[in-house]
Structure formats: C-alpha cells, structure tokens
C-alpha cells in the first residue's frame, strides 16, 4: 500500500499568522477612526433626571439584545439577555479547542456552518425587528430630534398624551403607526401627503435634522 505524501503547507501561528491578523486589526482600526472623524455623529445631550419622556435605546449593535427583552420577560429575562449570549460567546471562544479538524471547505463542515449561519440570521432578524429597518434613522439621533421638536414648538399643535384630538394628531404612538420614510418625507412636504395641511414645510432644517426628528418620532411607540 502506497502512502500519499502530505504536501499541505503549514504556516506557524507566530509570527506569520499573528502578523496577518495584526495587519487586519490595524486596517479595521483605521476605518473606525476615519468614520469617527468624518461622520460626526452627534452626542446626546446631558442626562436630565427630571425628563420622564426620554426613551433610552442602545446602539445598533446591541439592538438584538434589546429586542430579545420583548420575548424574554419576567423570570426568563436573565435567560434571554445574559445566559444565552454568554453560551454563544463561550462556544466561539472554545471553538479552537473542540473543533480541531484541518478541513476548511464549508461543504464538509455542515454542523459548524449551519450553527454559525443560524446565529447570524437570528441576530440580523432581531436587529431589524428592533427598528433598524430604515437607512433614514441609521445614523440619526433621537435626542437631537427631541430638541428640534421642542425648539420648533411642535408641542403647540401636537400632544403626547395618547388622547384623541380634532386638530393635529397625537404623536404618542406614532412610531408604531407610520414608517420612517413616510414621516421623513411628510416633514419635507406635508401637503403632498395631507391635502390642505396646516403644517408648514421645514425649509430651515437640513436633511440630517429631519432624520434626527424622524428618529425621535420612531422612538414614540
């Protein structure tokens, strides 16, 4: 019986592989620094403990955990928001110790590929369900939108009580009733959506201001 010679080229972890990982890490760090420098995402205002209308929401990369709170409440809250994420993280951390196969082709690793795919799909679905369904509010600031709402005197006509009014509609749950695209475009041209609307066009606000205002409207659910 003739044995086949192993012709696979092996690369040592240090320094070869570590050097490549370092290059990738530096590239990612440079991209993040450029985004932080040029995107200029506004900060939220100083916390006001007397403001009972503020609706806290996490950053977009934690929205899937935020959404999980809706499915794991009460006694099961610890399971959905802490224990399960910890288990998933441990699975990834311990992966090099229990999966030592040299095979790299995804077709020959159905269990690992299927598990990773299901976890990724779950995170994406929960993130979109939590409200990240529109690019309009992707980099918007609800806190800044709330400030615009107050500065422009929107509360003179609109209420946030949930009561039915004959004039301007109440906006308490507007984020559950309307899509962000509709709200954004309605701000730009109210008469295009409501005939003979008494709401003025927001000519003195930039598109980013309107996105922030839309994000605040979407937080009212």
**CB neighbourhood size of 141 (10 A):** 22
Lowest-confidence pick of 36-50, 90-104, 135-149: 36-50
pLDDT reported for residue 69: 79
Are 99 and 65 part of one and the same domain?
yes
For 102-159, write each residue's pLDDT tens digit: 777 778 778 778 888 888 898 888 888 776 556 677 678 888 989 999 888 888 888 8
Across residues 2-17, what is the average pLDDT? Answer: 71
Distance CA(113)–CA(116), nearest Å, equals: 5
> Where is the domain boundary, 103, 133, 163?
133
**CB neighbourhood size of 9 (10 A):** 5
Q: Which residue range forms the structural domain that includes residue 196?
A: 137-218
**Between 221 and 120, the higher pLDDT residue:** 120
Q: Kindly indicate the confidence band of residue 4, based on its pLDDT and cuts at 50, 70 and 90.
A: low
For 59-70, write each residue's pLDDT tens digit: 778 888 888 877
pLDDT reported for residue 29: 96
Q: Which two tokens stand for residue 127?
A: 């993130």
Q: Is the pLDDT confidence value at 48 over 80?
A: no
Are 104 and 153 part of one and the same domain?
no
Q: Kindly indicate the confidence band of residue 5, based on its pLDDT and cuts at 50, 70 and 90.
A: low
Q: What percent of the chain has pLDDT over 70?
A: 84
pLDDT reported for residue 155: 82
Are 163 and 199 part of one and the same domain?
yes
pLDDT reported for residue 19: 92
Q: Is the pLDDT confidence value at 20 over 70?
A: yes
> Where is the domain boundary, 133, 162, 197?
133
Across residues 39-58, what is the average pLDDT? Answer: 65
Q: Kindly indicate the confidence band of residue 21, based on its pLDDT and cuts at 50, 70 and 90.
A: very high
Q: Is the pLDDT confidence value at 57 over 90?
A: no
Cα torsion 14, 16, 22, 28: sign: negative
Collect all residues with Cβ–Cβ distance below 8 Å to 77 and sequence separation of at least 6. Answer: 69
**CB neighbourhood size of 117 (10 A):** 11
Distance CA(180)–CA(197), nearest Å, equals: 19
> Where is the domain boundary, 133, 166, 186?
133
Are 118 and 175 part of one and the same domain?
no
Distance CA(174)–CA(162), nearest Å, equals: 10
**Between 4 and 91, the higher pLDDT residue:** 91
Residue 184: phi, psi to the nearest 5? -60, -50
Are 78 and 122 part of one and the same domain?
yes
pLDDT reported for residue 121: 92
Distance CA(113)–CA(93), nearest Å, equals: 16
pLDDT reported for residue 53: 47
Q: Which two tokens stand for residue 72?
A: 């794991």
Q: What is the mean pLDDT of the chain?
A: 80
pLDDT reported for residue 43: 67
Number of domains in the chain: 2
Residue spans of alpha helices (H) in the chain: 18-38, 63-68, 77-78, 84-93, 95-98, 110-129, 142-151, 174-177, 180-188, 207-218
Q: What is the CATH number of the domain that holds 123?
A: 1.10.287
């Amino acid at each position: 019986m003739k044995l086949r010679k192993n012709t696979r080229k092996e690369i040592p972890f240090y320094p070869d592989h570590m050097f490549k990982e370092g290059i990738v890490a530096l590239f990612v760090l440079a991209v993040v620094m450029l985004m932080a420098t040029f995107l200029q995402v506004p900060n939220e205002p100083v916390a006001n403990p007397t403001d009972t209308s503020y609706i806290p929401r996490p950053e977009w990369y934690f929205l899937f955990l935020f959404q999980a709170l809706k499915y794991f409440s009460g006694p099961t809250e610890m399971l959905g928001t802490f224990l399960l994420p910890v288990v998933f993280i441990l699975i990834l951390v311990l992966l090099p110790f229990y999966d030592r196969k040299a095979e790299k082709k995804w077709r020959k690793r159905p269990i690992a590929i299927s598990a990773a795919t299901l976890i990724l799909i779950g995170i994406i679905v929960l993130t979109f369900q939590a409200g990240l369904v529109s690019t309009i509010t992707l980099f918007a600031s609800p806190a800044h939108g709330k400030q615009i709402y107050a500065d422009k005197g929107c509360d003179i006509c609109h209420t946030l009580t949930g009561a039915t009014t004959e004039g301007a509609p109440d906006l308490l749950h507007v984020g559950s009733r309307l899509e962000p695209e509709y709200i954004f475009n309605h701000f730009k041209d109210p008469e295009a959506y409501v005939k003979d609307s008494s709401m003025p066009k927001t000519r003195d606000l930039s598109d980013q201001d309107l996105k922030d205002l839309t994000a605040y409207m979407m937080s009212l659910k």
